[in-house]
Amino acid sequence: MRILIVLTYYRPHTSGLTIYTERLANALVKRGHDVTVFTTQFEKHLPLDETIEGVRVVRSPVLFRVSKGVISPTFGYLATKLVKNTDVIHLHLPQFDAAGVALRGRIFGKPSVITYHCDLQMPKGLFNAFVNQVVHIMNHLAACFTNRVITYTQDYADHSPYLRRFHAKTGIIQPPIVIPPMKPGAAAEFAIQHGLTGSDPVIGMAARFATEKGVEVLLDAMPAILKEFPRAVVLFAGQYLNVLGEDDYASRLFPRIEEYIQKGHWKWLGVLNQEEMTAFYPNLDVFTVPSLNSTESFGLVQIEAMMNGVPVAASNLPGVRQPVKMSGMGEIFEIGDSRMLAEKICAILRAKEQYVKDPAWLIDHFSPDSVAAIYENMFLNLLKGRPSHHA
């Protein structure tokens, strides 16, 4: 089966969406399918056409950016060529160009599926409000043209204004999540590299430094956490410098974070590859996802933490609260409530062993091959003109 996957940003850009797509594309290739990822050349040095781990990646040149979006004049031309030569189209939203690709699917008789990762909520401002509205319109049109709309959890589907409008064609497939095997001694080497003693409580967060991630909620919780655990330290894994569209957010929070860095309570790790992430998680006592709005729909990283026996403190957002609810491995706090976050983190640090469960079922349930098999079945049913009962 020839599968065309379409999204605005792909690797080496790092986000939950790109990691999801990469894992699924690789798993589909391993299952014997011909997979092409169509995306944008968001950095000039990236090749326009290359193959990565069996996945063909085609990039459309970018003329300029509009906020976090891109303008690529040749995108439509390339999309037409690729759609003509595929069997099924897999679109990842939010994405401005998805409506045009889904329409091409209708014109050329190629079924399409949307995976809807989150509601788009840009930072406040008149221009961003306009961008928000334009993307909402294009996402709406894409859903009108597509055959199926997939999201991670029923919880998120029930609360998303977008997904509620397309209830009849919406299904649930949970995301592909995997932790590669860790090299012997890697966790201990990681601890030495980052000055971890093994006795100081370690709080982990893994995200882009972006407005919706709620970094300030953790910052506001730190005084109460340090009052009970004076030697606690935060390890922040992920891009924190030059994050697209987040300059104002960074300039507002960085001075406060610098104070904690100087006192040894905060460490920037930068973007970690998968091998480094496998060494990161075992060094944590608790992991937190303090996200603030529906731009976050699940938080893949919290399942990764749980797979490594690390409890999670997650905000009470639809979708984001589900990993804790389904596993029992953590606590949920109210959105934006730093006092409650501090209470939950301290509760976990006091009795971590009570929150740790056998991760075997998580590893099986979220394995990329299991997820790819469900998508594969849905694609085949669409090609045969049958409704899919697996999503």
Span 167-211, pLDDT tens digits = 999 999 999 998 888 889 999 999 999 999 888 999 999 999 999
What's the rounded Cα separation, in Å, for the pair 28 and 200? 42
pLDDT per position as a tens digit, 333-391: 999 999 999 999 999 999 999 999 988 889 999 999 999 999 999 999 999 986 554 45
Mean pLDDT confidence for 115-140: 74
Mean pLDDT confidence for 72-89: 95
Residue 127 banded pLDDT, cuts 50, 70, 90:
low
Q: Looking at the predicted structure, is the pLDDT value of residue 7 above 60?
A: yes
Residue 217 banded pLDDT, cuts 50, 70, 90:
very high
Residue 125 banded pLDDT, cuts 50, 70, 90:
low
What's the rounded Cα separation, in Å, for the pair 171 and 153? 9
Mean pLDDT confidence for 143-161: 95
At residue 329, the pLDDT reads 97
Residue ranges of domains in the chain: 2-176+367-383, 186-364
- Equal CATH topology for 2-176+367-383 and 186-364: yes
What's the rounded Cα separation, in Å, for the pair 46 and 162? 33
Is 152 in contact with 325 (CB distance < 8 Å)? Answer: no
For the chain, the distance separating the N- and C-terminal CA atoms, rounded to the nearest angstrom, is: 19
At residue 222, the pLDDT reads 98
- Tell me which amino acid residue 56 is: R
Q: Looking at the predicted structure, is the pLDDT value of residue 135 above 80?
A: no
Closest by Cα among 82, 125, 76, 77 to 99: 76
At residue 389, the pLDDT reads 47
Mean pLDDT confidence for 9-37: 93
**pTM for the predicted model, two decimal places:** 0.83
At residue 32, the pLDDT reads 97
Q: Looking at the predicted structure, is the pLDDT value of residue 13 above 90?
A: no
At residue 134, the pLDDT reads 73
pLDDT per position as a tens digit, 288-305: 999 999 888 899 999 999
Mean pLDDT confidence for 284-288: 98
What's the rounded Cα separation, in Å, for the pair 289 and 324? 11
Q: Which of 81-85, 113-117, 131-135 has the lowest mean pLDDT?
A: 131-135
Half-sphere exposure of 290 (CA within 13 A, CB side): 27
Mean pLDDT confidence for 147-164: 94
CATH superfamily to which 2-176+367-383 belongs: Glycogen Phosphorylase B; (3.40.50.2000)
At residue 352, the pLDDT reads 94
H helix runs in the chain, sequence order: 16-30, 75-84, 98-108, 126-145, 154-159, 161-165, 186-193, 215-228, 247-262, 274-280, 300-307, 322-327, 338-350, 360-365, 368-383
What does the mean pLDDT of the chain come to?
A: 92
Q: Looking at the predicted structure, is the pLDDT value of residue 70 above 80?
A: no
- Sequence-ordered list of residues with C-beta below 8 angstroms from that of 225, at least 6 positions apart, any chain: 203, 232, 342, 345, 346
Tell me the CATH class for 186-364.
alpha beta
Half-sphere exposure of 369 (CA within 13 A, CB side): 5
Q: Looking at the predicted structure, is the pLDDT value of residue 252 above 90?
A: yes
